[in-house]
Amino acid sequence: MTDSSLQAQLDAADLDWIVPDWPVPAHVHALSTTRNGVRGSAADFSKHSVDAASVHNTLRRFCYSEPVWLAQVHGTTVCDADGLRNDVPTADAAISRSADKACAILAADCLPVLFSDRSGNAVGAAHAGWRGLAAGVLEATVDAMRIDPSNMLVWLGPAIGPRSFQVGRDVFESFCGDDPGAAECFVSERDGKWRADLYGLARRRLARVGVSAIFGGGRCTYTERNVFYSYRRGGEEASARMATLIWIEPREMRQA
């Protein structure tokens, strides 16, 4: 189900940011920003953004937990956000069991992935570009959460779609070398190229570790140019990034 309260707040602010449609408990909140900010402004969360203070202030109107930002390197390191203060860890995933922190991911074509257990006691977020996905960042996040995978809910945020993500043999072999069945997530083209389905690859890898409740997917950051930034689309906006966050509502704020 969609978080109707958060959706109403975004609608009132005239923001087209995305609220995940998945059956998490009411005290778990999540959102994924788009390229669009308030009053027609740009919402660029990259370190190069000239309006960084403004977009972060806008975000904090809806996310009352402190976002934990990561120095993302396309790896598999998962950090525990609850033990952090003001530092920016080098990692590509974060987990939290506290209402004080929001797990945050930056992306613009790479796949942002959110995690929650069905009781809403633990949440997580992972940055899954093809390198991190092939290396096992999703499996590492599932393992770090210490939750039975059958009790886990996962949402796939906006990423480059399967019709737009052309890759070479190195990417194909990174996934299919030890999992020949992953070839179903690739469409062969001429000259040794393939079209890769990040969503399908993520679902496949999650299923292999026992996660079956997977939601989201279906958007394309490359083709939906009025909604999303895209690194592959290039141009002046190649360095711009969108944010995807998940957090636990403090107990004192929850409705009885």
Domain assignment present for residue 187? The answer is: no
Does the global pTM surpass 0.85? Answer: yes
Per-residue pLDDT at 34: 98
Tokens of 119: 């009781």
66 occurs within a structural domain? yes
Domain extent, residue 95, equals 4-159+210-251
DSSP states of 73-141 as a string? -SS--EEEGGG-SS---B-SEEEE-STTEEEEEEESSSEEEEEEETTSS-EEEEEE-HHHHHHTHHHHH
Residue 149 lies in a domain: yes
Does residue 186 fall inside a structural domain? no
- pLDDT band at residue 210 under the 50/70/90 scheme: very high
* Residue 57 counted as domain residue: yes
Kindly state whether residue 13 falls inside one of the protein's structural domains.
yes
CATH number, position 62? 3.60.140.10
Buried-state track 216-226, b at ≥16 Cβ within 10 A, e below 16: bbebbbbeeee
What pLDDT is stored for residue 255 in this prediction? 67
Confidence at residue 64, expressed as pLDDT on a 0 to 100 scale: 84
Total number of domains constituting the chain = 1
In a domain, 202, yes or no: no
- How many CA atoms does the CB half-sphere of 146 hold within 13 Å? 5
Q: Report residue 39's pLDDT band, with 50, 70 and 90 as the boundaries.
A: confident
Top pLDDT among 234 and 129 is at 129
Retrieve residue 157's tokens.
């945020």
In a domain, 173, yes or no: no
- Average pLDDT (116-139) is 98
- Residue 186 CB neighbours (<10 A): 21
Cβ-contact 88, 106 below 8 angstroms: no
CA angle 175, 176, 178 (to 5 degrees): 90
